[in-house]
Chain A
């Protein structure tokens, strides 16, 4: 038995030792090894698909592959905290939405404080949002919907895809600007709210176009209004909220962000490659078909936008999430 104990002991010790190993670093021309693209949401989700398409598209312009590593959880903060702690050598980047930078730091204690702790490289696409109802719902426009809600105060149940998401904020804004009394019922993602809507358990749902399009096409639901600045090109007949007099146009957007202190030359290489990759039809065609909008912004504009939304985030958290 002594032998057996020793054997187990040896295994455990060798295992523990292996945990302390660190790969040795060598410096050469960037990139000389695969670049990790951290994903703050599950690989099979909407962002995961975008990352995969981007990695495929980038192959043509980048000598090394992009390795997608999904670290979902904490509303995206786990992956972003890892990005914050990563070496600014260009081998760890993230494709991520604004939420973990602009909303979450106001809600909970995180290793990073604001977008200023990172190097935004480029903004790639936006996900336009809209309000959908069942096809049988007795309203075809936002004005009719508001009239219906006013005639039935406290009756309508409207879902969004999670507290603190832009879907939620648009809904709360609509509620307060249109002065309607409705029940706000949060769901966790569209895959939970959509069956609730189809089954008649809720009346309406603020969702993204990519999540709504298959159901609109099947004539199971209809969209009443786009929460965009201009009419969404895929649905030119759907008016914006602004046309009804409500300035509600938040939409999620995603881009590439690196750790703080990324050397300017590496930043430029990544920016140029990713810009070409996002413009290539390999990425753009399926993304547009799914219902996304290509909204490129360079490093400075992206940073400015993130900082503005970070300031806005403080107010949003104060109003809706406290």
Chain B
């Protein structure tokens, strides 16, 4: 059978009543979970997996994948409207999305997110459908040293995506890495920097850190500046939608984000969030106008949103083609299948084709449903901003508190949220960028784990590790990333010095 016949076969499965309902329920719940900060796709799947027990295995998996990619749609809503990144993948959307909202372009940002997610999801699916087995085998060629060097390159280049100076950004990234070392040492599981607290041994959760740094610090800044009750920006309904110019800027960004996100999604670890940072970095490089980023550039919302959706689809590649989960969310999907007595392995696509093709077909369907579902909601969500600011800020505060508690049911996360809120306020005053801190917190543990594991495999021989071709070229690249600006700076000084000398001589 060729791919189209197989897809038709998949649709014949996906289009039965149970599977359609499962798909609709999944994406609906996914959207709700995505919009609500705190409860991410993993938590939602954990809660709903018991229900899938009463469904067929295919329907169960369809519902769970629906939750998974549905949550990628809604994730940026609170980022854009309230500067509260409810999931780690929507941290980047808070940077330019919230600035757009401040200018009254919240509707445009939300609409572009919905379109970007749909386009990326659909194109990601084509990649998944056509190349899953090949891509999965390719992903196996990479191992710990490559993952470590990828994380390193990511830290070097992606920490520069903000407006702050190079040094300030690196400083923030290093602080993020430090926060990432709190908790259990990854290999031995012994606690570090936990001050005897069992809760801290879980490590510092990213969600309250992100919500504190962005959401709470924003509330504090507004409370400081407020001299009277600020009137919300009045936006006409017609003006909610993106203008032609905005569409023109957003679409290329969406396509770039889709391709980039898909390949990053094939790497094990925190690939969804990484894809958003990478896409933002790419957009900034591609765009001629660096200065508009951080001030409400629509590309900075469209690209990353598309990237995290296609990364999510790509994460299904190793799961469906090999039965190996590369990310926590796909590990939940594996659990959902295992409950039905199905242990996915390399044979699943052959032995149970209805699962693979049914899920693929239902995801095409789901993407369309999500688009239909999300577009009308843009107006509803955007009208939240019509609330008077003093009430909105109170709601944001409450939302952040509840959301941080619900991620791990831990009071510690509330303290982290408040602490990070105050810290974020100070950082704003000192004009630091907060994104590198989040990046360090995400990539630091990945970097550490993979370095440690490489060293175990190579018996502590660091040269064996860095002389692997991919690793060597990646490390060379990051070395250039660090040194080139310094060299250019000194050459510039040098030339200036000589020019001055010469001009003095001429005089």
Interface residues of A (CB under 8 A from B): 1, 3-5, 7-8, 11-12, 15, 19, 42-46, 48-49, 52-53, 55-56, 68, 70-71, 73-75, 77-78, 81, 107-111, 154, 157, 162-164, 183-188, 191-192, 194-196, 198-199, 201-202, 210, 213-215, 217-218, 220, 285-286, 289-290, 321
| Residue pair A214, B346 in contact (C-beta under 8 Å) | yes
Q: Which of B49, B140, B199, B202 contacts A198 (CB 8 A)?
A: B140
| Residue pair A214, B456 in contact (C-beta under 8 Å) | no
| B401 interfacial contact with A, CB 8 Å | yes
| Residue pair B143, A183 in contact (C-beta under 8 Å) | no
| B457 interfacial contact with A, CB 8 Å | yes
| Residue pair B453, A7 in contact (C-beta under 8 Å) | no
| Residue pair A285, B453 in contact (C-beta under 8 Å) | no
Enumerate chain B residues within 8 angstroms of A1, measured Cβ to Cβ: 226-229, 390
| Residue pair B46, A70 in contact (C-beta under 8 Å) | yes
State which residues 433-461 of B face A: CB under 8 Å.
449, 453, 456-457, 459
Q: Which residue of B lies closest to A77 (CB)?
A: B198
| Residue pair B335, A43 in contact (C-beta under 8 Å) | yes
Q: A157-B457, A188-B449 are in contact. Are A196 and B190 (CB under 8 A)?
A: no
Interface 1/0 per residue, B197-214 and A, CB below 8 Å: 011011100000000000
| B161 interfacial contact with A, CB 8 Å | no
Enumerate chain B residues within 8 angstroms of A188, measured Cβ to Cβ: 186-187, 449
| Residue pair A52, B343 in contact (C-beta under 8 Å) | no
| B196 interfacial contact with A, CB 8 Å | yes
| B494 interfacial contact with A, CB 8 Å | no
Q: List 6 A-B contacts (CB under 8 A).
A: A42-B331, A52-B339, A187-B453, A188-B449, A199-B143, A210-B343
Inter-chain CA distance A283–B504, complex, in Å, is 90
Interface 1/0 per residue, B379-405 and A, CB below 8 Å: 000000000011101100110010000
Enumerate chain A residues within 8 angstroms of B453, measured Cβ to Cβ: 185-187
Inter-chain CA distance A220–B140, complex, in Å, is 13
A50 to B: closest C-beta gap in Å:
9
Q: A1-B390, A183-B459 are in contact. Are A107 and B325 (CB under 8 A)?
A: no
| Residue pair B229, A7 in contact (C-beta under 8 Å) | no
Interface 1/0 per residue, B309-343 and A, CB below 8 Å: 00000000010001111101001111110111101
Q: Which residue of B lies closest to A53 (CB)?
A: B339
Enumerate chain A residues within 8 angstroms of B53, measured Cβ to Cβ: 52, 56
**Nearest 6 CB-CB pairs, A to B?**
A214-B345, A4-B390, A44-B335, A199-B140, A44-B332, A218-B346
Q: Which of B223, B326, B345 contacts A217 (CB 8 A)?
A: B345
Enumerate chain B residues within 8 angstroms of A154, measured Cβ to Cβ: 459
Inter-chain CA distance A202–B456, complex, in Å, is 11
Inter-chain CA distance A43–B11, complex, in Å, is 30
Q: Which residue of B lies closest to A165 (CB)?
A: B189
Q: Which of A8, A11, A74, A220 contacts B198 (CB 8 A)?
A: A74
| Residue pair B347, A183 in contact (C-beta under 8 Å) | no
Q: Which residue of B lies closest to A157 (CB)?
A: B457
Enumerate chain A residues within 8 angstroms of B393, measured Cβ to Cβ: 4, 8
Inter-chain CA distance A11–B393, complex, in Å, is 11
| Residue pair B223, A8 in contact (C-beta under 8 Å) | yes
Inter-chain CA distance A198–B186, complex, in Å, is 23
Residue from A46, A164, A218 whose CB has the most chain B CB atoms within 10 Å: A218
Q: Which of B229, B338, B411 contacts A19 (CB 8 A)?
A: B411
Inter-chain CA distance A157–B456, complex, in Å, is 9
Inter-chain CA distance A200–B326, complex, in Å, is 17
| Residue pair A73, B201 in contact (C-beta under 8 Å) | yes
Inter-chain CA distance A154–B457, complex, in Å, is 11
Q: Which residue of A lies closest to B184 (CB)?
A: A74
State which residues 441-499 of B face A: CB under 8 Å.
449, 453, 456-457, 459
